[in-house]
Structure 1
Amino acid sequence: MRTGSEPVTARSALRMRLWLSVWGLLWAIFGTVAFTLVGRPGWAIACGALWLVITVDLSMILKHLREGPHYQPGPGIPPYRPPEERRP
């Protein structure tokens, strides 16, 4: 719901999420390989699962970055009215 108090110059943190995901992806890959070589299959599976989650998140971040900015109403559009509360 729009209240009319949204910041005019709001920015998304997608680029920061992108670089944090890349950093996490590198550590997850390293952890999977290292724990596999050391013979710790449980930790290797945990790092592999984390690797999968990070990869899905990274793909969503890239999708949102490719979409570009979405339509945002300008200052000439009045804010939406809050819904009226109806209690029985």
Structure 2
Amino acid sequence: MRTGSEPVTARSPLRMRFWLSIWGLIWATFGTVAFAVTGRPAWAAACGVLWLIVTADMAMIVRHIHQGPHYQPGRDVPPYDPPRVS
């Protein structure tokens, strides 16, 4: 919820989290394949679970990015009053 007291330069970290997820996805995929080829199924399974977690996190990040500026306010979104509880 925006109240108007946020710093002028505040930005959402969603795009940074998206690119870090891509980086994690690449490494998890590489680890899964490398450990499967070298005959270490436990480590391959661990990297596979990490791959699933990173994929789920990336799906959530993309969903939040697509929800638009209400959930990721930018400079063009003015602050709004918090809802009044009656």
Q: TM-score normalized by structure 1?
A: 0.75
Deviates more, 1:4-13 or 1:58-67: 4-13
What is the aligned length?
A: 78
Q: Distance in 2 between matches of 1:58 and 1:15?
A: 10
* Closer/same/farther in 2, CA of residues 42 and 21 from structure 1, 3 Å limit: same
Listed as ranges, the gaps of 5+ residues in structure 2 are: 72-76
Deviates more, 1:58-67 or 1:1-10: 1-10
SS in 2 for 1:56: helix
Asked if 1:61 is matched to 2:61, the reply is yes
* Closer/same/farther in 2, CA of residues 14 and 3 from structure 1, 3 Å limit: closer
Partner of 2:20: 20
| Aligned with residue 79 of structure 2, among 74, 78, 81 | 74
Listed as ranges, the gaps of 5+ residues in structure 1 are: 81-88
Offset, 1:35: 0.2
Structure number with larger C-alpha Rg: 1
Letter in 1 for 2:19: W
* Closer/same/farther in 2, CA of residues 45 and 16 from structure 1, 3 Å limit: same
Offset, 1:63: 0.3
How many percent of aligned residue pairs carry the same amino acid?
Answer: 67
Q: TM-score normalized by structure 2?
A: 0.76
